[in-house]
Structure 1
Amino acid sequence: NNPYYKTRMCQAFQQGLCQKGAYCNYAHGPDEMPPAPRRYKTELCKHFMEGKCGYGEHCSYAHSMEEIQQHAAANVASSPFQMQQSNTLTGQSLLQPQSSITPSVSLLESVRTDGSTRRNASGHGHHHKGKKLRTDSNAPAAVKICLDDL
């Protein structure tokens, strides 16, 4: 049970050199890859903003607001339903209706405002160590979770 099984394209296969066939741990086509996580490209890469992201085009964080908007539009278009969850603390929506798909970076930051911390259980993320979560008892349940885990 390799958690990374078929999560990347096989470089040898792309060059016509892979001899492992069905036994290869790497994907031989996009149809073998798992679906991208819903948090992909939903927040800015702090390393890129500091000028030192080593992941380049393979980074799972956005390197511009335009990139966030492009992926938000793709996610909304492929979503089987629309969800409008009001954030009573900020008056903003957690997921905007299809006509307004510009994500709010301030909303992403407003979810992490007190002293509690949480690390993503999947071990993903070079950004998420020590993220702050809101634990205000008046906040709706959807606001209490880290948006990175959606």
Structure 2
Amino acid sequence: TGTIFFKTKLCSRFRAGTCPYITNCNFAHGMEELRKPPPGWEDFVNPPVVADGGGNAAKLRPCKRFFAEGVCPYGERCIFSHEDPAVKPAATTAISNASTAKPLNWKTRLCNKWETTGSCPFGDKCHFAHGIAGKK
């Protein structure tokens, strides 16, 4: 969620004259740099959850980042669903299969990070292809 809030708050260190990041700071250094958060930012901060009666909170909304980028930095800890809403899970599906299942769009597009820098911090776990040969 860090990049969606890029320069949406004033840098307290800059105001004090002590920001060590200068031009690389994620916070705004003055009103002219201040930006509005993108539409839907609230979904990243306050997702809706409902109790299923057993005390567990159900993940109701799909993870926008997972479906847009193919990866989610929060993984299993994400409060949004990484399941395709068009596919209803079978009641008999083993829990172990859920952790190894790949999304429908697995490696169908090239990884932007790999294309621009030649490397990707997610390595083999990246949901995007690293080169044409890795594309499905």
Q: TM-score scaled to structure 1, two decimals?
A: 0.28
Q: TM-score scaled to structure 2, two decimals?
A: 0.29
Higher relative contact order (CA 8 A, sep 6+): 1
Asked which structure has the greater CA Rg, the reply is 2
